[in-house]
Structure 1
């Protein structure tokens, strides 16, 4: 697709500065979508304990700075308001505590057992798990249990700064507020055990925790269920001696806890039979509740946090499905490319292959031109080298730079100029068809040059009377820049390999504007070129398919075109291509329900074009998004291997396409960088096209600024190149 001229009425006088001011606004919405998706993935990694966690336990420190009454005291340590006191649970009263939850599998089972035996407990929850499973925390509170903080992502606070400690407390409290609508004053540090294990590293943390309004709760009876020693041993470990009260440590998360659940179901009735009561901590101590209801702004902050976390999980799940989808599409497309392009090559390159009787009749070559002064001489002179009889009709579409006069002053035989007021490329092409003398019509762009054999190769498929249109082999002529090299890879790998595939499937979606040929009869039967879409070449190709004609690919009909040399120009071109393709698909959607050739194209061609040209490019950047996610959050090695695996598949496909097109492999050195940067640009372009389509926006035609970088086909001498330089621009 290479439409260059503008639509009637399009703004033409805007200065470069205004265009530069509009570009950021054009980028804003797609970039916001990208940023939002990345932010939600970052949030998911954040609440899944995949960053910031520090599970190391450092060597024990001395205890000379820890007060003796703490070392010899109970498991409840209160350092609020400068106090240094401890509390013990009264005899025959027991406080069951569960760490590291809530867990979606084991916490409900623990709660069911507690409810079954009319027992209460204290759950020391992490912020990450609370954020992910807020309903379980709400159930804890609703069923009369207490909850306490166990930090956000379980670091050893003895080796963290006060700023980090504050962050751990506030984030966990925010999650609990959002889940259950309360604040809690209970806190248990990770990796804590008995009070007499307090040392010079952990004691300052306990003191600081008190200044933040929290009571530190350790334990004096460890079930050691984390070791999975067996149900009987867990029960023995959890049983206090001599009827004394106890704070018992258990876990409802962090792994398989079926032994904990079974032990709890045996432990509770046994101890209740011995006169034990299982209470919350504050109930056991006859103290005010540790939970305080939260209202107002703080409550809504908590709810907003939970909402965002849940949304991030849902979005991540959707993105994973989309990633699987793009993986399937990429593999399917590459598989089809390898298989069908191989079939195409074997068919058209076999000895004795011909489309039919050789086509020797003269051909009309139409060159629509709008302000192509820098390129038009090279374009026309390249046609003069043609080894097939042609007439050249240059349709000047209201140019203001003297394009028509340049062609007229060349005074080349067989070259005519037709002038018209600016009406757009479709109108210019229709005008050219009306002025063409011959039945076979070749169409090219004003910035394109042909090889001597291009026209001959392009029209040979018309030896088959079923062929209504032929796609040529468009190549990037200005590939000496990085952007040009990337487009060269795209043209060879993406466009030409695709055309071989679509040729075999008989559903070629686009005759490139840079090099294509049509049977005049086919054009007339479908009403000529239409301006209903911004991709008139895709539109006319689909219309010809629906009329029952074959559309084929002529690999040796090479044309050299000037690709955009700046990101802004590339953006403008691809935005129009993407949006125009979507318009053409929508315009011809009725083919899905047609019979005959139209129905075949509708049920084969339209789905493939929609999947491979619209949906797949939109989802392709997910590969890179998950690369970043995997590098940050892990598993890093598997992520890198997977990404390079995808790149290897693409590289293999690219090498295959370059070999088929007899191109040097050197440009493929930039393929990894192209996949990282160029793909993102194409994604944003396509995303903006979707937004434009869904919001009912209209896209104006935009004329690309030509640099005249493609002067002639390789190895083809062209004379008189100074003519354009001598021409005054009119």
Structure 2
């Protein structure tokens, strides 16, 4: 076992975040979410030269001289733009196969990379593939660097998918030579410098507008005599059912008139429009194809994860609120039944165990609050000094002259050993365990032990409150304690699967402690480990919201990190230790399938993947519609605020503290996610985390001035 947590995984986490963002950028560029001019025709830029507008549909501008070509007589070159499309391209290929016809597909490079199998099928069946840029950008409106990038990426994608290149280019938004604009002319001239022939069309069917199959056929067959023609159609960009039906009829009509259907290259006498690509181009192309496919999978996964996380978050809030109402109703009914029976108050002897290690800042306040209790039954207070190196034992010893107060001194052995030593010394059947930085209210002990009138109850969780809530960090923790911890405990109480009786305040039946084997020492979350063992032994563990304990929360982010790191790591240890409960029967199985599944989903899985969701959110704010994302974020924040208001009302707290909730969503939440990531990596790599001590600021003095609390009616 490692004795220190690993450090290198932070670099891995950062690199993973960068890789996810890079994948989003790649996919965004390929799908047109990023990049200027995508899917938008630019300004015409004047007219092309008259010689070009009167030329044939294939322009050769290499060497700076305009030469053009037309298909030979009796040949028709069907061309399809904007694909390949997984739905419509295969259907068109099937129509062409039945008629033994070949065609030219001016494909978008990013779609070739997304559907390389379709590109290979085109080549295998004798068709030709030309470039239609990588993202369907208007080259006439694009800067020169973007033009180079579009053409190069398109070539690489084709080489990676089919092992071939192309000499043919059709600019998006182009048409017949007569419609050639000045901007398109300049783009064609630039492309010629890179070895491309620009292919226009003789007959633009405008099938993209879906004018009907008859209109498409009429425009495609409008010529007279035996003149050849290049016909423009589309195999992507929406519903192409009309195009599929029209191609079938075009092939039948023109074949009956003696026309032959071939590729653009063959129709003008060009030897090979798709020459073999170089080895380097094929290797780079395969990397591009794999990279784009991978980025698409990543984005698809993140999109799905975003949706699942959103649904689960809403579902969890709804369940918490619903079970909170159920818990309140059940508690009221139980109290009403006890009142109707007229039974005397349940006031058993109680032993309070206070483990203390270097708690001089708050131990006097803790002991003082226990002695000032309003509990009328027999009560003893046992302070266990676990080898403190400060004045903790000295301060505790000053109380031992008071009847019922005892001090045990022992070498440092850890909190579980201190608790077990106190339990062994205790005389009462009901044992209350209290942290050395916690202060009780006068009615706390009575309220805490009241549910144990039911012999089925083995442990009771009290209601922990943050005392030092003055700063922003304290307010964040206050909200977390009320909204998260206490709402969760109400749910767990109703479902009879409580995972944790907090170390700050909990009551235990001695018999239940014995059934669990005492306070365990093999995890860092001894309170969670103990509670899970008690639940698995068949005891009920309940939550009593009126049993209030005020605790000092970490005052700095560093102290908060250390505390939550220990809590989270210890909880993971306890979950793993009790994993067999998932497959067992009876009370243990009920606990495992309800509680462990809930913890694994909401306290492990979602936090682990939350940084990826945040990366996706950052990408969306930069490149997508920020208004939609902002509205989504505000909606979730409002929903959480509503749940927070209800939770605060249940606990008798003021709702004005909710003003820190929005900021909590962009700072505190990420800190808690990173705690889970750190804990999980530490556990997986086999490191053993040491106990993380928290430096106390001394929030309580011997007569603490606690915030007022009035339980909700």
Runs of 4+ in 1 over 6 A off after TM superposition: none
Deviations, residues 604-641 of structure 1 (Å, cap 9, x unaligned):
33333333333344455666555445445546555444
1:480 equivalent in alignment to 2:470: yes
Equivalent residue, structure 1, for 2:301: 318
- CA positional deviation for 1:103: 0.8
The structure-2 alpha-carbon separation of the partners of 1:669 and 1:28, relative to structure 1 and needing over 3 Å to count, comes to: same
The structure-2 alpha-carbon separation of the partners of 1:595 and 1:157, relative to structure 1 and needing over 3 Å to count, comes to: closer
1:107 equivalent in alignment to 2:89: yes
Deviations, residues 452-501 of structure 1 (Å, cap 9, x unaligned):
22222212222222221110111112222222212111110111011112
Aligned pair partner of 1:651 in 619, 629, 641: 641
Please tell me whether the aligned partners of residues 184 and 292 of structure 1 are also in contact (alpha carbons under 8 angstroms). yes
Partner Cα distance (2:401, 2:326) in 1: 42
- CA positional deviation for 1:108: 0.7
Partner Cα distance (1:323, 1:200) in 2: 45
Please tell me whether the aligned partners of residues 560 and 713 of structure 1 are also in contact (alpha carbons under 8 angstroms). no
Partner Cα distance (1:160, 1:510) in 2: 61
- CA positional deviation for 1:102: 0.7
Partner Cα distance (1:365, 1:641) in 2: 50
Equivalent residue, structure 2, for 1:512: 502
1:566 equivalent in alignment to 2:556: yes
Please tell me whether the aligned partners of residues 530 and 536 of structure 1 are also in contact (alpha carbons under 8 angstroms). yes
- CA positional deviation for 1:257: 1.0
Please tell me whether the aligned partners of residues 3 and 689 of structure 2 are also in contact (alpha carbons under 8 angstroms). no
Equivalent residue, structure 2, for 1:3: none
Q: How does 1:130-529 map to 2 (within 5 A)?
A: 130-239=112-221, 240-349=223-332, 352=336, 354=338, 357-388=344-375, 390-409=379-398, 413=402, 414-529=404-519
* Helix, strand or coil at the partner of 2:431: strand
Please tell me whether the aligned partners of residues 78 and 231 of structure 2 are also in contact (alpha carbons under 8 angstroms). yes
The structure-2 alpha-carbon separation of the partners of 1:148 and 1:709, relative to structure 1 and needing over 3 Å to count, comes to: farther
Please tell me whether the aligned partners of residues 620 and 679 of structure 1 are also in contact (alpha carbons under 8 angstroms). no
Deviations, residues 521-553 of structure 1 (Å, cap 9, x unaligned):
221222101122221111111111122222111
The structure-2 alpha-carbon separation of the partners of 1:428 and 1:440, relative to structure 1 and needing over 3 Å to count, comes to: same
Deviations, residues 294-316 of structure 1 (Å, cap 9, x unaligned):
34343222212222222233333
Partner Cα distance (2:256, 2:245) in 1: 18
Range with greater deviation from structure 2 (185-194 or 299-308): 299-308
Partner Cα distance (1:430, 1:478) in 2: 30
Q: How does 1:42-57 map to 2 (within 5 A)?
A: 42-52=25-35, 53-57=37-41
Please tell me whether the aligned partners of residues 528 and 571 of structure 2 are also in contact (alpha carbons under 8 angstroms). yes
* Helix, strand or coil at the partner of 1:315: helix
Structure 1 unpaired stretches of 5+: 1-6, 12-21, 718-730
Please tell me whether the aligned partners of residues 607 and 677 of structure 2 are also in contact (alpha carbons under 8 angstroms). no
The structure-2 alpha-carbon separation of the partners of 1:713 and 1:611, relative to structure 1 and needing over 3 Å to count, comes to: farther
- CA positional deviation for 1:511: 0.2
Equivalent residue, structure 2, for 1:590: 580
- CA positional deviation for 1:218: 1.4
Partner Cα distance (2:55, 2:546) in 1: 90
Partner Cα distance (2:570, 2:162) in 1: 51
Please tell me whether the aligned partners of residues 179 and 302 of structure 1 are also in contact (alpha carbons under 8 angstroms). yes
Deviations, residues 346-405 of structure 1 (Å, cap 9, x unaligned):
333466464975233442222222222333233333333222253332222222233323
Aligned length: 698
Equivalent residue, structure 2, for 1:16: none
Deviations, residues 224-283 of structure 1 (Å, cap 9, x unaligned):
212222222212211233321222111111111111111111212322332322222221
Deviations, residues 555-574 of structure 1 (Å, cap 9, x unaligned):
11111222223333323322
Q: Higher relative contact order at CA 8 Å, sep ≥6: structure 1 or structure 2? A: 1
The structure-2 alpha-carbon separation of the partners of 1:26 and 1:72, relative to structure 1 and needing over 3 Å to count, comes to: closer
* Helix, strand or coil at the partner of 1:470: strand
Range with greater deviation from structure 2 (280-289 or 314-323): 314-323
TM-score normalised to the size of structure 2?
0.91
Deviations, residues 319-361 of structure 1 (Å, cap 9, x unaligned):
4444444344333322322222112223334664649752334
Partner Cα distance (1:412, 1:654) in 2: 45
Partner Cα distance (2:187, 2:694) in 1: 65
The structure-2 alpha-carbon separation of the partners of 1:452 and 1:532, relative to structure 1 and needing over 3 Å to count, comes to: same
Deviations, residues 684-714 of structure 1 (Å, cap 9, x unaligned):
2223333333343332222223222354786
* Helix, strand or coil at the partner of 1:201: helix
Equivalent residue, structure 2, for 1:118: 100
Please tell me whether the aligned partners of residues 43 and 309 of structure 1 are also in contact (alpha carbons under 8 angstroms). yes
Partner Cα distance (2:265, 2:681) in 1: 56
Partner Cα distance (1:416, 1:341) in 2: 39
Range with greater deviation from structure 2 (693-702 or 422-431): 693-702
Partner Cα distance (2:262, 2:33) in 1: 35
